[in-house]
């Protein structure tokens, strides 16, 4: 079975879901990601769902479970890139994505992780190259 690749970028694990996932594939991702968090000690996980044209209750539940597992393993999960039509459908379906932090895109997700990171890991996360704060 096809697997969703997990990339390590600095202190962040990046998962970009690009295919219409079978249920088994989503469960496999859940296991793989837990293992990678432990192996790498990464404190942040970004799941990019730009490529998903639907999120049904199964995928939604899997995302919630991944966020919970990550938290227990001392990593924060941020889901980014949700399409507006997917957000509208999720809300109407009744899915609240409890415990999941979201951001509009990968860049914002990295910013969010950097802001929440401890000072000592901040350098590792400083790869977003966002606008420098300029004081007037």
Q: How far is the CB of 101 from another protein (least distance, A)?
A: 20
Q: Is 115 helix (H, G, I), strand (E, B) or coil?
A: helix
- By CB under 8 A, residue 88 contacts another protein: yes
Sign, Cα dihedral of 93, 94, 98, 101: positive
Rank residues 7 and 87 by Cβ distance to another protein and give the closer one. Answer: 87
| CA 5 – CA 26 distance, rounded (Å) | 12
- State which of residues 7, 38, 72, 93 lies at the interface with another protein (CB under 8 A): 93
- By CB under 8 A, residue 18 contacts another protein: no
Contact 23, 2 (CB under 8 A): no
- By CB under 8 A, residue 39 contacts another protein: no
Four-point Cα dihedral 41, 73, 109, 9, nearest 10: 20
Interface with another protein by CB under 8 A: which range of 38-46, 51-59, 72-80, 119-127?
A: 51-59
Query: Which residues bind to another protein, rule: CB under 8 A?
Result: 20-25, 53-58, 60-61, 83-86, 88-89, 92-95
């Amino acid at each position: 079975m096809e697997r969703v690749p997990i990339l390590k970028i600095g202190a962040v694990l990046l998962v970009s879901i690009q295919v219409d996932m079978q249920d088994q594939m989503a469960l496999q991702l859940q296991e793989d990601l837990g293992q990678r968090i432990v192996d790498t000690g990464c404190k942040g996980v970004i799941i990019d769902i730009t490529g998903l044209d639907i999120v049904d209750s199964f995928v939604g539940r899997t995302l919630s479970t991944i966020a919970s597992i990550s938290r227990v393993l001392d990593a924060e999960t941020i889901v980014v890139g949700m399409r507006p039509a997917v957000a509208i459908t999720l809300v109407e379906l009744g899915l609240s994505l409890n415990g999941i932090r979201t951001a509009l895109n990968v860049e914002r997700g990295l910013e969010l992780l950097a802001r929440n990171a401890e000072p000592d890991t901040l350098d590792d996360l400083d790869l977003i190259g966002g606008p420098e704060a300029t004081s007037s």
